[in-house]
Structure 1
Amino acid sequence: MRFHTRKWIKPEDLNPNGTLFGGRLLEWIDEEAALYAVVQLENQHVVTKLMTEIDFKSSASQGDIIEIGIDAVKFGKSSLTLRCEVRNMMTRETIITIEKIVMVNLDKQGNAVPHNKTEIEFVGDRLNA
């Protein structure tokens, strides 16, 4: 799992219990998945189609730093399936895992279109090609 993003938990990220608000975390995960798909598919027109079960294992508190990890699991014809894990860097505990996030490649009219990708590419490799 590659951990691409770190977030510092601030007061505005907390729920009334003083822990990380789940909706804020899901917003960050969705954004990270979209960014990952945009880079991999080389297209800014991608949408989230599906997120499987969301099961919180632990939480984070103000001042904690979390990491969001994303891995590509499968390239479909017009989709990219990702897996996500979020962990608390302070406690080393997994906060959440999402086994399946499906992102869909779109044309400018919003229709699903093939992306012709079959494996993960790194930007550095594209620049050296």
Structure 2
Amino acid sequence: MRFLSRRLVMPQDLNYANSLFGGRALEWIDEEAAIYAICQLETNCLVTKHIGEISFESPAAKGDIVEFGLETKAVGRTSITVSCLVRNKATKKTICLADDIVFVSVDPNTRLPRAHGKTADELEKQTKAEITKLNL
């Protein structure tokens, strides 16, 4: 899993218990996973179809930096399925895991599903090439 993005937990992100509001975490997960899928498939004409199991493991407090780890789980003809792990940057404790987030490529005019033209093997090679360019 590659950790690609970070966010600072701000006062407006907190719930009544002064920890990261679950709804805000889900908003961030959907956005981060969408960006990841857009970069993988090289198209921004994607919609969120499904978010599977979501498991909250530990809280995040005001001032915590959370990071988002993303990975491709499956690639279909019109879809891509990703997982997103949210963890505390300092402690590495898992805050939340969202599994089986499915995005579907759609035609920008009809909004109907369309083939994205990528395979799992191509995406794996693409990711390895990106990592090599970053010298990771």
Q: Same fold (TM over 0.5)?
A: yes
SS in 1 for 2:19: coil
Alignment of 1:88-107 (within 5 A): 88-107=88-107
Q: Secondary structure at the match of 1:35?
A: helix
Any stretches of 5+ residues in structure 2 without a counterpart? none
> Residue 76 of structure 2 corresponds to which residue in structure 1?
76
What RMSD in Å do the two structures reach over aligned CA positions? 1.7
Alpha-carbon displacement from aligned partner over 1:19-75 (angstroms, at most 9, x marks no partner): 001111100100011111111111111011011111211010001111111100111
Segments of structure 1 that go 5 or more residues without pairing to the other structure are: none
SS in 1 for 2:71: strand
Instruction: Provide the aligned length of Structure 1 versus Structure 2.
Output: 126
Residue matched to 1:110: 111
Residue type matched to 1:110 in 2?
R
What are the residue-to-residue correspondences of 1:1-129 with 2, within 5 Å?
A: 1-108=1-108, 109-119=110-120, 120=123, 121-122=126-127
Quote the offset at 1:110 in angstroms.
0.6
Equivalent residue letter for 1:70: L
Cα deviation code 1:62-101 (max 9, x no counterpart): 0111111110011101000101111012332101112210
TM-score by length of 2: 0.87
Task: Please state how far the C-alpha of 1:124 moved relative to its aligned partner.
Answer: 6.1
Stretches of 4+ aligned residues off by more than 3 angstroms: 122-125
Same amino acid, percent of matched pairs: 45
TM-score (norm 1): 0.91
